[in-house]
Amino acid sequence: MQPTNPNQFTEKAWEAIVRIPEIVKQGQQQQIESEHLMKALLEQEGLASSIFTKANIPVQRLRDRTDEFIQRQPKLSSPSASVYLGRSLDALLDRAEGYRKQYEDEFISIEHLVLAYAKDDRFGKALLQEFGLDEPKLKAVIDQIRGSQKVTDQNPEGKYESLEKYGRDLTLLARQGKLDPVIGRDDEIRRTIQILSRRTKNNPVLIGEPGVGKTAI
């Protein structure tokens, strides 16, 4: 996939792609490959870094390993004015487009690019495996950050970060046993579920004295 149309990408994803040629030239290289995009994504300190942090991966170590890989690649004896799209990045962008369709999103976003590294045979797959990450684990982290949101505009990443910062994942907390237990309130819970399941007028109102368990329900 040739990354020539900014309208296919979110703003942050396109910013990372636009940054790649400069990274390649700084490294005295000519071929744009998947490792150069990873460096651009990690430089942003945005959603990509948040995904790896949530997966308990030290972002600085990822940056260091990426830089080390770039430094090991062949260098030009003199700077070149032209850069060329390599096969690994071409294939990675195709996979990102596949994930976009899978999520039924309108634009290729940062998380699609990050997820595509799980199958990047040149660089990304081995790097992620080094830190114990594979596609299912990475997807689980991304799904947790995204929630049920769809990418319908070119600036979705900020919305994910706001949800992560100001919201609480009650489903995750329940799985971890971190929510207060509800005892002896089966009728109230059933009625609440019934109201929430209605197509209209689906806002239950819980009334009671302080401390009787309204929040727990």
- Domain definitions of the chain by residue range: 6-172, 180-217
pLDDT band (50, 70, 90) for residue 140: very high
pLDDT tens digit sequence for 177-200: 777 777 777 888 888 888 888 878
pLDDT tens digit sequence for 97-130: 999 999 999 999 999 999 999 999 999 999 999 9
d(CA 20, CA 95): 18
153, 109 in Cβ contact below 8 A? Answer: no
Q: What are phi and psi of 84, to 5 degrees?
A: -130, 145
d(CA 71, CA 80): 17
Residue 128 has a pLDDT of: 96
Pick the closest to residue 53 from 115, 142, 136 (CA basis).
Answer: 142
d(CA 106, CA 35): 25
Entry pTM: 0.75
pLDDT over threshold 80, residue 72: yes
Q: Per CATH, is 6-172 categorized as 1.10.10.10? A: no
Residue 160 has a pLDDT of: 73
Pick the closest to residue 32 from 68, 86, 94 (CA basis).
Answer: 86
Q: Which amino acid is at 28?
A: Q
d(CA 46, CA 110): 9
pLDDT over threshold 80, residue 74: yes
Residues 6+ apart with CB under 8 A from 23: 36, 39, 40, 70
